[in-house]
């Protein structure tokens, strides 16, 4: 099946991989299921995995051809992705994957710091032994992810699960929804943070401090730990 990257043109072409590199990156949709939803999921997966580089322009007709569907569900999928801030639709051209500016990164971390501070503060007051055990299990799985680029997808996926699970355990589902949206943008830049020397091991140490504070039900320490973690993550994006 022709890879979506054979359908790309425009910005950042020096970063676009060859067709042979990504022949399994996108698959024809399954009949019977929502075509828009399948198109949405496949394109979003390429965005969040870093396989669709920031600043790349995708043509609606050619993406539709690659998926073996009509243009309408692709256009509808693009509209949903634009609402989430992952792409920007270009009239008569298709869509360009969002460029995450320094200012936008700063805003993302301001929001995360405020909301995740609330999450760990509330969770520290109510966390159960079962919830601690579940977070510990996630933490151990996280540490077993492969080193290097081969393990980045799983590392980022479990990191996302760890943070969103804390929000769920705190009973803050609306905050979890907002954080999930923000995490999508974070995943687009997550590999930038992981490429920072030693960042992987530092994340584990920072998560350990968050867990330790929650186990002690120390609200102040939990807020301090999450703030330190987010500050270090943001700093790693600045090189």
Q: Where are the domains of the chain?
A: 4-97, 102-236
- 96, β-bridge pairs: 57, 88
Angle value at C-alpha 208, between 141 and 190, nearest 5 degrees: 65
Q: Do domains 4-97 and 102-236 have the same CATH topology?
A: no
> What is residue 217's predicted lDDT score, i.e. its pLDDT?
97
Residues of the chain under the 70 pLDDT cut: 1-33, 190-196, 238-239
> What is residue 6's predicted lDDT score, i.e. its pLDDT?
34
Q: Which among 20, 11, 73 is positioned nearest to 42, based on CA atoms?
A: 73
Mean pLDDT of the chain: 82
What architecture does CATH give domain 4-97? Answer: Orthogonal Bundle (1.10)
Helix, strand, coil % in the chain, rounded to nearest 5: 70, 5, 25
What architecture does CATH give domain 102-236? Answer: Up-down Bundle (1.20)
Torsion of CA 37, 154, 48, 117, to 10 degrees: 100
């Amino acid at each position: 099946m022709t890879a979506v990257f054979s359908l790309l043109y425009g910005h950042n072409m020096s970063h676009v991989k060859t067709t042979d590199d990504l022949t399994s990156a996108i698959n024809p949709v399954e009949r019977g299921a929502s075509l828009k939803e399948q198109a949405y999921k496949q394109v979003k997966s390429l965005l969040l995995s870093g396989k669709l580089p920031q600043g790349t322009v995708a043509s609606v007709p050619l993406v539709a051809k690659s998926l073996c569907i009509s243009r309408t569900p692709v256009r509808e999928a693009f509209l949903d992705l634009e609402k989430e801030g992952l792409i920007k639709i270009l009239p008569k051209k298709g869509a360009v994957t969002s460029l995450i500016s320094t200012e936008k990164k700063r805003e993302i971390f301001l929001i995360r710091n405020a909301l995740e501070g609330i999450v760990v503060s509330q969770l520290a007051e109510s966390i159960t032994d079962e919830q601690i055990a579940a977070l510990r299990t996630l933490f151990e799985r996280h540490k077993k992810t492969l080193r290097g680029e081969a393990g980045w997808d799983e590392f980022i996926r479990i990191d996302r699960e760890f943070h969103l699970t804390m929000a769920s355990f705190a009973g803050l589902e609306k905050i979890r929804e907002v954080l999930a949206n923000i995490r999508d943008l974070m995943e687009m830049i997550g590999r930038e943070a992981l490429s920072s020397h030693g960042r992987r091991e530092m994340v584990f140490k920072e998560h350990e401090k968050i867990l330790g504070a929650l186990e002690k039900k120390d609200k102040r320490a939990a807020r301090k730990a999450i703030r330190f973690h987010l500050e270090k993550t943001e700093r790693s994006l600045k090189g």
